[in-house]
Amino acid sequence: MTGGEGARKLIALGAIWAALLLAPYWMPPLGGYTALGTRVLVLGLAAMSVNFLLGFTGVLSFGHAAYFGLGAYGAGLALKFLAPSTPLSLICGMLVGGIAGAILGALIVRRRGVYFAMVTIAFGQVFYYIAFQWSSVTGGDDGLRGFSRRPLDFGAFSVDILSNAESFYYFVLFCFALAAAAMGFVLRSPFGRTMIAIRENERRARFLGIPVERHIWIAFTLSCFFIGFAGALYALLNNFADPKGLHYSQSGDFVIMAVMGGMRSFWGPLLGAAVFVILQDYLSSITVNWMSFIGLLFVFVVLFFPRGLLGAIRRKVQA
């Protein structure tokens, strides 16, 4: 990497974090609101988790919403039945999503291509119907209610900073930063380089002696932990969890966000999530067919910007 490229990356990274830090101040004048920014962060983290597997390992999962939904239910059930602790609920949601992913990932890791994608859909739909039918625990189609995010308890004192929309945004931003840092650390490690090697040429990676199945399983498991954490944050955002969060259509939304933003870039899925969420919020207030317009935009991006919106922006800046 040349000095100029490094400087451009630092400037771009600084601009991203400055935009995120100042979002509660610049969004309202543009017609947005703070909760919309919080939703972008949460769904952006979910899309980045899908991209962790798809963009950097080359494995497509259409069932990742299952672990997102399990994270939401894990957080909600922990708050409702275990202890009124926000940090504990986040840990429980992340563990539920991640452990479920680790167990199922071991069963499907030898599948490739469309077979892998279809098996992930099948397992995801199993969790969806369990949540839908087990109404005594999950609330069924009405969803899980009766819980809410709690003040942060530090033992000797507690701080109620999560009831306000702006303070909760910064709490979610802090959680997002931790998850993004962990994700970036993994991708820059030798394991992350091995993931990319598998994506580029799995056969060559096998000839080099890399245990491909084990690496894909670890990548799948880590991705499930990250998306389970995003699901837990989503439950705290809405004070609600429902079976729709586990449905394969939600997985499709995450894939659209990742591909539209730029699936082989680290920050592309966050941009894709921002475009998706903002358009959804605006168009759904105008028409019930809002998804048709997002679908047309997705097709346009795939046809004319194969590297996604972030790739197009980078090419424009470098031109």
Q: Rounded to an integer, what distance in angstroms lies between the CA atom of residue 220 and that of residue 56?
A: 11
Spatial CA neighbour of 45 closest among 184, 168, 157, 161: 184
231 pLDDT more than 90: yes
Burial of 97 (0-12, 13-18, 19+ CB in 10 A): buried
Closest Cα partner for 166 from 41, 270, 32, 25? Answer: 25
The CA-based diameter of the chain, rounded to the nearest angstrom, is 60
User: Across the chain, how many H-helices and E-strands are there?
Assistant: 15, 2
Residues contacting residue 304 through CB under 8 Å, at least 6 positions apart: none
pLDDT tens by residue, 2-29: 556 667 788 888 888 999 999 888 888 8
**Residue-level pLDDT at 157:** 58
248 vs 127: CA distance, rounded Å: 10
pLDDT of residue 224: 96
- Burial pattern 304-313, b for ≥16 Cβ within 10 A else e, equals ebebbbbbeb
Asked if pLDDT for residue 317 goes beyond 90, the answer is no
* CB distance 275 to 281 below 8 Å: no
pLDDT at 305: 87
Q: What's the alpha-carbon Rg for the chain, to the nearest Å? A: 19
CB-CB contact of 254 with 65 (8 Å): yes
∠121-96-136 over CA atoms, to 5°? 85
User: 17 with 263: CB under 8 angstroms?
Assistant: no
The backbone torsions φ and ψ at residue 145, rounded to the nearest 5 degrees and listed phi first, read -125, -175
The whole-angstrom separation of Cα 193 and Cα 11 is 24
- Report the distance separating Cα 271 and Cα 275, nearest Å: 6
pLDDT 10s digits, 144-178:
988 888 877 665 556 666 778 888 999 999 999 99
